[in-house]
Amino acid sequence: MDTPTHDSPYDLLLDTAVRAAWRAAAVIREEAGTPSDVRDKGRNDFVTDADERAQAVITEFLRETFPRDVILAEEGEAAPESASVASGRRWIVDPIDGTTNFMHQVPPYAVSIALQDEDEIVVGVVLDVPRDELFTAVAGHGLQVDGEAVGVSATESFDAAFLATGFPYRRFEHTDRYLEVLAGILRSAQGVRRHGAAAIDLAWTACGRFDGFFETGLNPWDVAAGTLLVREGGGRVTNYHDDGGLTPVFDQQVCATNGPVHADLLGRLAPMDDVRL
């Protein structure tokens, strides 16, 4: 599949990311339905042979093409807290976002690849593998789905908002507080869905299928590409304190919306503004 052009100085880098994502998708499809060598990384946190093979395909291709660039990927050492600003260019890679879904043959799951240049995410690619749907964004040059320009929803009132979220699944000390917050949102919004793949939730917010998405405890590779998709689609992405830039990527708190419902959603998330699990 041809890479969409965003008519930007980053189109060569975008092309590299898209090609890497399609290569990883081919590996993932080989094992779809029969994932092998499933191992625990932590409570309810898994890695499969497909994760590792897909990541190897991505990182090898990136290193061959841009050998001087740094790569931060899920199946490796964790990102240090001080690493939010890169020195030069850094690729942020999740070979399978939604591994548990993939293990159980339940869509969605996706390949997520972002490029960070110094203090900015400049390229974002999310490939929904089961649907063969490609989301691309370049800083300052818009969002596309399969090469067509798209954007966030026009929903203005919170009572009409259709939202996505993720449930705590590794640590549970804040479960009661989370459930109280979720109950308030459920009573106020039109609906809330939980798909188990943050990259897809952000991509679907970016293109207007959802009006917003919120979750804590996420890693940079879960949200780096999706954050740019939302912003280039015309939406907003912050942490629960309304801090933008790279903060929601590295702060383990993401609130992403179409813009008009952002303040309302932040207000409802305020009781969890110190939670990052």
Comparing 276 with 184, which gets the higher pLDDT?
A: 184
* Range list of H helices, 36-164: 49-65, 99-103
Q: Are strands 110-117 and 89-97 parallel, antiparallel or unpaired?
A: antiparallel
Average pLDDT over residues 13-32: 94
Q: Which residues of 205-220 are buried (b: 16+ CB within 10 A; e: fewer)?
A: bbbbbbbbbbbbbbbb
Q: What pLDDT is attached to residue 33? A: 63
| Mean residue pLDDT across the chain | 90
Average pLDDT over residues 222-233: 98
Q: What pLDDT is attached to residue 277? A: 65
Q: Are strands 191-193 and 162-165 parallel, antiparallel or unpaired?
A: parallel
Residues in a beta bridge with 245: none
Q: What pLDDT is attached to residue 45? A: 46
Q: What pLDDT is attached to residue 32? A: 72
Give yes or no for a contact between 29 and 134, defined as CB atoms under 8 angstroms apart: no
Q: Phi and psi of 77, rounded to 5°?
A: -70, 145
Could you tell me the pTM of the whole model?
Answer: 0.93
Give the helix, strand, coil percentages of the chain, each rounded to 5: 35, 25, 40
Give the whole-angstrom CA distance, residue 175 versus residue 28.
33
Give the whole-angstrom CA distance, residue 146 versus residue 114.
17
pLDDT tops 90 at residue 243: yes
Ordered structural domains, the chain, with CATH: 11-149 (3.30.540.10), 158-272 (3.40.190.80)
pLDDT tops 80 at residue 222: yes
Give yes or no for a contact between 171 and 38, defined as CB atoms under 8 angstroms apart: no
Q: What is the pLDDT of residues 253-269, one digit of tens each?
A: 999 999 999 999 999 99
Average pLDDT over residues 212-229: 96
Comparing 115 with 30, which gets the higher pLDDT?
A: 115
Give the whole-angstrom CA distance, residue 194 versus residue 173.
20
Instruction: Report in angstroms the alpha-carbon separations of 157 from 188, 205, 235, 258, 263.
Output: 10, 16, 15, 11, 11
Tokens representing 198 are 């943050």
Q: Are strands 212-216 and 162-165 parallel, antiparallel or unpaired?
A: parallel
Q: What is the pLDDT of residues 91-116, one digit of tens each?
A: 999 999 999 899 888 999 999 999 99
Q: What pLDDT is attached to residue 115? A: 98
Residues in a beta bridge with 117: 89, 120
Read off the pLDDT band of 78 (50, 70, 90).
very low
Q: What pLDDT is attached to residue 44? A: 37
Q: What is the pLDDT of residues 39-52, one digit of tens each?
A: 554 443 456 788 99
Give yes or no for a contact between 152 and 10, defined as CB atoms under 8 angstroms apart: no
pLDDT tops 60 at residue 146: yes
